[in-house]
């Protein structure tokens, strides 16, 4: 990890949006398996035409994969940081394409509109679900690579 990246993480820790945690390989392995189950569940729900459910589960897969990458960096979101801080941390991961980070944030916003609708339920489609899964796959691969 670069010193600039460490400084940015420390800034988020100082702001109370992240907290420092030790990296634990055994928990990482368990969480990697958990991610894989969420991915499988999302695909199962697509096959059952449960688009809203598939989107919610695919988003969870993507978020859990992202938090695994944060765990490798020995941080995790706090209640104050919430889901938003994950996007902030991903933005200064040098190996991640900028578009992945932009799409992650857009999907987070879409998830909030789906989960907490102010009027009509938001439309989700197969393309959004597949993008969540693809981002989750990339983030999980990055976490595995960074942990070894």
> Tokens 């990890």 correspond to what residue?
1
Pick the CATH number of 3-10+23-147 from 1.10.510.10, 3.90.550.10, 1.20.120.330, 3.40.50.720: 1.20.120.330
Q: Which residues sit opposite 19 in a β-bridge?
A: 76
pLDDT band at 2; cut points 50, 70, 90? confident
pTM of the shown model? 0.89
| Digit-coded pLDDT (tens) for 101-115 | 999 999 998 888 877
| Sequence-separated (6 or more) residues with CB below 8 Å from residue 108 | 59, 63, 83, 84, 86, 87
Provide the CB-side half-sphere exposure for 85 (13 A, CA). Answer: 23
């Amino acid at each position: 990890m670069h010193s600039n990246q460490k400084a940015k993480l420390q800034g988020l820790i100082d702001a109370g949006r992240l907290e420092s945690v030790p990296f634990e390989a055994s928990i990482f392995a368990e969480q990697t398996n958990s991610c894989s189950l969420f991915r499988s569940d999302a695909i199962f729900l697509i096959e059952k035409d449960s688009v809203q459910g598939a989107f919610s589960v695919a988003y969870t897969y993507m978020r859990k994969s992202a938090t695994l990458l944060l765990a490798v960096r020995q941080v995790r979101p706090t209640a104050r940081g919430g889901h938003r801080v994950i996007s902030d941390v991903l933005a200064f991961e040098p190996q991640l394409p900028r578009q992945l980070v932009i799409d992650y944030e857009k999907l987070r916003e879409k998830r909030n509109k789906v989960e907490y609708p102010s009027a009509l339920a938001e439309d989700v489609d197969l393309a959004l679900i597949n993008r969540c899964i693809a981002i989750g796959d990339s983030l999980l691969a990055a976490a595995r690579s960074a942990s070894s």
